[in-house]
C-alpha cells in the first residue's frame, strides 16, 4: 500500500504532518513517500507538477495532498501557477470523480450561519466531475477581434464522460439515502442537455435510486433554502466547483471537510476541501481535521478498509465531543488547541 504525500503550500505541511501521524498510528504498513506540488514545486523545480512528483504519484495507490497556492505565485504565468499543478495531477491521473461530503457535526451546529433547524443533521455528498467541462475544453484562450480583446473557453462533455461519473454517483447513492439529484443548465446549454439525457439513460440500471434533476441556479438557491432535501448531488466540473463551496459553508466549518478524487480503479487523491490559508501558515493553529478525515476517505475508497475508516472518523467525533477546538471552530467554553495538539487528541482517541 503505497501513499504519495504532497504537503504543498501554506498550512499544507502542518496539517499533512498530523494526518501522516494518524496513518502511522493505524499500524497498517503503509509505504509513504513525499513529493512537491504547487508553489513549493515552482520554487524548487520551476514547475508546479514536476516529473519526479508525477512518477511518485503514478506509482502510488493513493495520494495525500495538503493544499496548494499563495499570493507570492499569483503573478506568475498561468502554466506556472500552483493551481495548474492541481489541475495537472487530476488530469494526468484521470481522477474524474470528485467526492465532497458536507456534513454538519452536531457539536458544531452553531458554526453555521444558517438557522440550526435548517442545517441540523445535514449530510450531503456532492459528486463533481473533475477532468472535463470548461476547465479543460478546447478551444480556449484570448484573441484580438475587431480591435478588442476577446476571451473564450469551451464547455464540452462526451457521453462516455457523463456516463462514467453517472455510475459513480448512482452507486454512491445506493450506499446512502438512494436519492440522486443531477444538476445542469439544460434550459440554455446543449452540453448539459446531453448531461441530463445520459443521466436518465444511466438511471435505468439503478431502479432502486430516485433520480431528480435541477437547474444549477435553482440548486444554488435550494442549497441555502432547504439543504436537507438533498442526499447525493452529481454535476459537472464548474457547477460542482461552485456548489461544493456553497455546500461546505452550510456547515460553517470548511476546516472539517475532506474530499476524494478517484479514477476508475479507485486510486485516489485525498485532500481537505479548504485552501492553503497563507494568512495563518506556519503558526501551528490550522485545523488538521479535514486532512485527517481525508485519510479516513482514503482508507475507505482506495484501500477498502471500512473498519479503519470508521475508527478514524469516530476518533474525530470523540475529540469534538471532548471539547477540543482549533481557532476556526472555537466557541466559548471549549478547549482551544493548535494543530499539533489536535493531532495528539485524535491519536489519543484512536488508542
Ligand atoms: C477546487 C479549487 C480548484 C478548482 C482550483 C484551486 C483550481 O477551487 O478544488 O475546488 O477550481 O477545481
Ligand atoms: Mg473550488
Q: Are 94 and 264 in contact (CB under 8 A)?
A: yes
Q: Are 328 and 339 in contact (CB under 8 A)?
A: no
Grid coordinates representing 71 are 499570493
Does the CA dihedral 306-301-65-243 come out positive or negative? negative
The reply to whether ligand 1 has any atom less than 6 angstroms from the CB of 87 is yes
The reply to whether ligand 1 has any atom less than 6 angstroms from the CB of 134 is no
Using the atom order of ligand 1, give the atom closest to the CA of residue 69.
6
Q: Which CATH architecture has domain 1-96+263-351?
A: 3-Layer(aba) Sandwich (3.40)
Interatomic CA distance for residues 317 and 253, integer angstroms? 14
Which residues contact residue 68 at a Cβ distance below 8 angstroms, ignoring those fewer than 6 apart? Answer: 8, 9, 12, 37, 38, 39, 48, 82, 83, 85, 86, 276
Annotated catalytic residue within 61, 92, 123, 241: 241
Using the atom order of ligand 1, give the atom closest to the CA of residue 86.
7
Protein residue with least CA distance to atom 4, ligand 1: 241
Interatomic CA distance for residues 169 and 179, integer angstroms? 10
Residue 254, pLDDT score: 86
Which H or E element spans position 4? strand 2-8
Annotated catalytic residue within 135, 206, 301, 324: 135
Is residue 245 flagged as an active site residue?
yes
Q: How far is the CA of 241 from the centre of ligand 1 (A)?
A: 7
Protein residue with least CA distance to atom 1, ligand 1: 241
Which H or E element spans position 270? strand 268-272
Domain 100-262 has CATH 3.40.50.620: no
Interatomic CA distance for residues 237 and 155, integer angstroms? 10
Which residues contact residue 110 at a Cβ distance below 8 angstroms, ignoring those fewer than 6 apart? Answer: 116, 252, 331
* Maximum Cα interatomic distance, the chain, rounded to a whole number of Å: 68
Protein residue with least CA distance to atom 3, ligand 1: 83
**100-262 and 1-96+263-351 share a CATH fold:** yes
Using DSSP bridges, classify how beta strands 141-145 and 148-152 pair: parallel, antiparallel or unpaired: antiparallel
Q: Are 104 and 206 in contact (CB under 8 A)?
A: no
Site to probe by mutation for ligand 1, drawn from 8, 12, 241, 271 as the one with most ligand atoms within 8 Å of Cβ, is: 241
Site to probe by mutation for ligand 1, drawn from 78, 80, 83 as the one with most ligand atoms within 8 Å of Cβ, is: 83
Which residues contact residue 322 at a Cβ distance below 8 angstroms, ignoring those fewer than 6 apart? Answer: 335, 345, 349
Mean pLDDT by groups of 10 residues along the chain of 351 residues: 97 98 94 98 98 98 97 93 96 97 91 91 97 97 97 98 98 97 98 98 98 98 97 98 93 91 97 95 97 98 96 97 95 96 98 92
Q: Are 234 and 99 in contact (CB under 8 A)?
A: no
Q: Are 284 and 340 in contact (CB under 8 A)?
A: yes
Angle in degrees, 0-180, between the axes of helices 306-321 and 339-350, rounded to the nearest 10: 120
- Side-chain-side CA neighbours of 351 within 13 Å: the count stands at 7
Using DSSP bridges, classify how beta strands 148-152 and 258-262 pair: parallel, antiparallel or unpaired: unpaired
Site to probe by mutation for ligand 1, drawn from 71, 87, 238, 240 as the one with most ligand atoms within 8 Å of Cβ, is: 87
Q: How far is the CA of 238 from the centre of ligand 1 (A)?
A: 9
Q: How far is the CA of 152 from the centre of ligand 1 (A)?
A: 19
Domain boundaries, the chain: 1-96+263-351, 100-262
pTM of the model: 0.95
Q: Which residues lie at CB < 5 A from ion ligand 2?
A: 241
Is residue 115 flagged as an active site residue?
no
Interatomic CA distance for residues 317 and 153, integer angstroms? 43
Which residues contact residue 169 at a Cβ distance below 8 angstroms, ignoring those fewer than 6 apart? Answer: 127, 180, 182, 232, 234
Using the atom order of ligand 1, give the atom closest to the CA of residue 98.
9
Protein residue with least CA distance to atom 12, ligand 1: 241
Amino acid at each position: 500500500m503505497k501513499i504519495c504525500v504532497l504537503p504543498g503550500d501554506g498550512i499544507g505541511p502542518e496539517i499533512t504532518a498530523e494526518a501522516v501521524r494518524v496513518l502511522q498510528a493505524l499500524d497498517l504498513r503503509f509505504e509513504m513517500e513525499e513529493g512537491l506540488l504547487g508553489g513549493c514545486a515552482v520554487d524548487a523545480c520551476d514547475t508546479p507538477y514536476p516529473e519526479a512528483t508525477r512518477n511518485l504519484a503514478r506509482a502510488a495507490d493513493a495520494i495525500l495532498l495538503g493544499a496548494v497556492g499563495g499570493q507570492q505565485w499569483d503573478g506568475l504565468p498561468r502554466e506556472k501557477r500552483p493551481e495548474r499543478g492541481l489541475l495537472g495531477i487530476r488530469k494526468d491521473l484521470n481522477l474524474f470523480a470528485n467526492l465532497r461530503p458536507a456534513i454538519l457535526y452536531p457539536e458544531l451546529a452553531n458554526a453555521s450561519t444558517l438557522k440550526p433547524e435548517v442545517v441540523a443533521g445535514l449530510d450531503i455528498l456532492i459528486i463533481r466531475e473533475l477532468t472535463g467541462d470548461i476547465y479543460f475544453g478546447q478551444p480556449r484562450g484570448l484573441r484580438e477581434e475587431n480591435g478588442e480583446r476577446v476571451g473564450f473557453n469551451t464547455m464540452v462533455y462526451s457521453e462516455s464522460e457523463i456516463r462514467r461519473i453517472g455510475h459513480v454517483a448512482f452507486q454512491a447513492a445506493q450506499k446512502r439515502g438512494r436519492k440522486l439529484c443531477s444538476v445542469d443548465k439544460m434550459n440554455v446549454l446543449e452540453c448539459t442537455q446531453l448531461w441530463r439525457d445520459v443521466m436518465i439513460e444511466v438511471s435505468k440500471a439503478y431502479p432502486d435510486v430516485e433520480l431528480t434533476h435541477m437547474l444549477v441556479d435553482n440548486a444554488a438557491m435550494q442549497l441555502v433554502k432547504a439543504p436537507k432535501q438533498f442526499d447525493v448531488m452529481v454535476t459537472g466540473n464548474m457547477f460542482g466547483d461552485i456548489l461544493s463551496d456553497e455546500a461546505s459553508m452550510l456547515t460553517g466549518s470548511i476546516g472539517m471537510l475532506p474530499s476524494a478524487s478517484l479514477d476508475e480503479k479507485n486510486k485516489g487523491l485525498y485532500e481537505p476541501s479548504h485552501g492553503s490559508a497563507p494568512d495563518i501558515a506556519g503558526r501551528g493553529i490550522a485545523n488538521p481535521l479535514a486532512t485527517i478525515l481525508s485519510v479516513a476517505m482514503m482508507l475507505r475508497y482506495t484501500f477498502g478498509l471500512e473498519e479503519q475508516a470508521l475508527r478514524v472518523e469516530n476518533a474525530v467525533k470523540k475529540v469534538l465531543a471532548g471539547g477540543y477546538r482549533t481557532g476556526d471552530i472555537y466557541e466559548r467554553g471549549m478547549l482551544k488547541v493548535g494543530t499539533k495538539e489536535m493531532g495528539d487528541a485524535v491519536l489519543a482517541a484512536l488508542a
